[in-house]
Amino acid sequence: MRWLHRLALWSALAGCLAACAVALLTVASIVGRQAGRPIQGDVELSQFGIALCIALCLPWCQLRRANIIVDFFTQKAPPAMNRALDALGAFLLALMVALLAWRSTVGAQAVREAGETTMILGLPMWLSYAALAPGLALTALVAFAQAVGWEGKE
């Protein structure tokens, strides 16, 4: 499924851009502190940016099977058993991340209705919840495709 591969790649690239933006913000904030002009809300923005980065990079990580696995007990198992266990793990991950995507969306709606904002900058908190949902949903889609064996098919 080439389109899923492309979506995961573009998501990871966007996540990398978010990480680079956080790095630049951090450097600018440190330099600004030394000059007596710190960036207000830099911690809020950094927390939001890194959470976004992680959520956006998860689909690529799952697509590349780069998550940590503990195969101590299955090293000597037959390949068919390992494939079945990998498929089960991918399915369980798909369920978990789909649940997180759904709850992030519901949480964003609740926080928006409550009108919560960040402490220093006064940014709407619902944006940070809502920004996580697409990356989590795409991760669920990738994991589900792996669980059912669609990932290698065109």
Q: Per-residue pLDDT tens for 104-152? A: 999 999 999 999 999 999 999 999 999 999 999 999 999 999 999 886 5
CB contact set of 75 (below 8 Å; sequence gap of 6+)? none
- Give the total number of structural domains in the chain: 1
Per-residue pLDDT for 103 more than 80? yes
Which domain, by its residues, includes 92?
Answer: 2-148
Question: Is there a domain that residue 91 lies in?
Answer: yes
Q: Per-residue pLDDT tens for 21-74? A: 999 999 999 999 999 998 999 999 999 999 999 999 999 999 999 988 777 888
Question: Is there a domain that residue 101 lies in?
Answer: yes
Question: Is there a domain that residue 95 lies in?
Answer: yes
Question: Is there a domain that residue 154 lies in?
Answer: no
13 vs 100: CA distance, rounded Å: 22
SS3 9: helix
- pTM of the predicted model over 0.75: yes
Question: Is there a domain that residue 153 lies in?
Answer: no
Please give the torsion angle defined by the CA atoms of residues 152, 17, 53 and 10, in that order, rounded to the nearest 10 degrees.
-20
Torsion angles phi and psi, residue 38, rounded to 5 = -70, 160
Question: Is there a domain that residue 108 lies in?
Answer: yes
Question: Is there a domain that residue 56 lies in?
Answer: yes
